[in-house]
Amino acid sequence: MPRKTFFPNPQNKPTGFSPATKAGNLVFVSGQVSTDAEGKLVGRGDCGAQSEQCFKNVEAALQAAGATMADVTKITCFLVNSEDYSAYAAVRLRLFPENGPASATVIIKALVSPDFLVEVEAFAVVS
């Protein structure tokens, strides 16, 4: 099965990985952090605001691959501070108020930048 890669912002393509990869009807979204389309940090020090931006980036990657948030079947969240879980969970609940996807949250020591408090990756099945 051939693999296709997708970039929601072709003017700001990352190197070494794809924001979204599709194989058949499966879409895999790379971990998304709280940067905007220009690569600038959103929500410095605010896990709720960063979570919002992470999910916006997940949604943009899904759309580039022909999927929507309704197609998401699994999300994984990486949090630097366990105290931030409620802020992240509130955003997740707002986006998935009923029958949300399978979910895991992992508390980690650090992300790629000390400014990042949260990272979210997703898997989707497109029917």
5-59 confidence digits (pLDDT tens): 888 887 777 777 889 999 999 999 999 999 998 889 999 999 999 999 999 999 9
pLDDT at 11: 74
89-105 confidence digits (pLDDT tens): 999 999 999 999 999 99
Residue at 71: amino acid letter: D
How many helices and strands, by DSSP H and E, does the chain display? Answer: 2, 6
Q: Where are the beta strands (DSSP E) in the chain?
A: 3-6, 20-23, 26-32, 72-79, 102-107, 118-125
CA distance 51 to 101: 16
CA distance 64 to 105: 25
Answer for the pair 101, 75: CB distance below 8 angstroms, yes or no.
Answer: yes
Q: Which domains does the chain have, with CATH numbers?
A: 26-125 (3.30.1330.40)
